[in-house]
Amino acid sequence: MGRVTGSLLVLIVCGLVAVGCGSSSSSSSSSSSAVSKCKNEAKKISDANTRTAAEQACTAAGKVSTSATNAVSTTVQSVKSSAKSACLAGAQALPAGSARDKAVAGCNKIK
């Protein structure tokens, strides 16, 4: 019975990290805050083995969250770069003049 209770506690603690990480817009500070809250809850577990497993789960969840945030950031930058390139190519196809100049200026605003 202790093993089942311990497993349930680990799942609950992992759920706290997931909820904490999802509560903000993927910022690393919210992730570290969620990990801290998770570890604080894990410290309340009386069984040493279960407590250690829960603390490790908190740490692992924080690392996954950071990796996911970095991957999304890299993908967004890649998409923006591709959009800017396509925009500039389209702008350069316009006849010379103020319309093309405005289009190029607009494309250059894509960061």
Give residue-wise pLDDT tens across range 72-86.
Answer: 888 888 888 888 888
> How does DSSP classify residue 95?
P
Residue 51 or residue 99, greater confidence? 99
Q: Is the pLDDT of residue 108 over 80?
A: yes
Q: Do residues 69 and 26 make contact, with C-beta atoms less than 8 angstroms apart?
A: yes
How many domains does one find in the chain? 1
CA-nearest of 24, 46, 42 to 33 is: 24
Provide CB contacts within 8 A for 92, sequence distance 6+. Answer: 100, 104
Q: Are 72 and 26 in contact (CB under 8 A)?
A: yes
Tokens 């998770």 identify what position?
38
In this predicted structure, the answer to whether residue 48 has a pLDDT above a threshold of 60 is yes
Task: Using a cut of 0.75, tell me whether the model's pTM lies above it.
Answer: no
> Pick the residue with more confidence: 106 or 64?
106
For 75, the domain range is: 2-108
CA atoms within 13 A on the CB side of 105: 6
Out of 5-19, 31-45, 89-103, the most confident range is: 89-103
pLDDT value of position 34: 80
